[in-house]
Amino acid sequence: MTDRRLRLAVGILSAAGAAVAGYLTYARYTDTTLVCATGGCETVQRSDYALLAGIPVAVLGLGAYLILLGTALSASELARVVGAVVAVSGTLFAAYLLYAQIVVIDAVCQWCVASDVLIALLAVACSLRLRSG
């Protein structure tokens, strides 16, 4: 796959991820009840796991997706390396949070799962971008 196509994929996936993280961030700061089919969104969002060093994980996710969106705008080696580091580390952290939802909190947030899927796909796309360079 060409770097141009991969950049397009990274752009679309990270924009979708930013929308999900943006919604969670908005809900957190406006105290809005999340639309939730899995029934566990509030439980997850109000647990300790939704905060990292006092910062909402949704905000960190939003930041990560915006960085990834930025890397899609550039064909440089720096953009490809930064994209891969952010997406792969984000995927590993997302896997840990998914484990926490299932094993510790006993509640699953559909928005977190959607974000998990997006960041995993981004890790694949960004890793392929490294190869295409």
Partner 1 sequence: MSRRTYAAVGGVALIVAAALIAASVIGTRGGEPAQADQLSPNDAPALLQGIPQTGPALGRRDAPVTLVEFADPQCPYCAQWSGQAFPELVRDYVRPGKVRIIFAGLAFIGPDSDEALRFALAAGRQGKLWQVMDLLYANQGAENSGWVSQDVLREIGDAVPGLDVERALRETQSQEVESQLAAAKDLQARLGVRSTPAFAASRAGGQLAPVQVTSLDAGGITPSLDRLLAR
The minimum distance between CB 123 and partner 1, in angstroms, equals 9
CA-CA distance, 55 to 119, in Å (whole number)?
19
Among 59, 93, 114, 128, binds partner 1 (CB under 8 A): 93
CA-CA distance, 89 to 95, in Å (whole number)?
10
Among 84, 109, 118, 122, binds partner 1 (CB under 8 A): 84
Among 2, 30, 37, 53, binds partner 1 (CB under 8 A): 53
- Applying CB under 8 A, does 78 fall inside the site for partner 1? no
- Applying CB under 8 A, does 3 fall inside the site for partner 1? no
Instruction: For residue 44, give every residue at least 6 positions away whose Cβ sits within 8 Å of its Cβ, in sequence order, or none.
Output: 50, 101, 105, 107, 108, 109, 112
The minimum distance between CB 29 and partner 1, in angstroms, equals 13
The minimum distance between CB 131 and partner 1, in angstroms, equals 7
CA-CA distance, 80 to 103, in Å (whole number)?
34
Position of tokens 């974000």?
Answer: 115
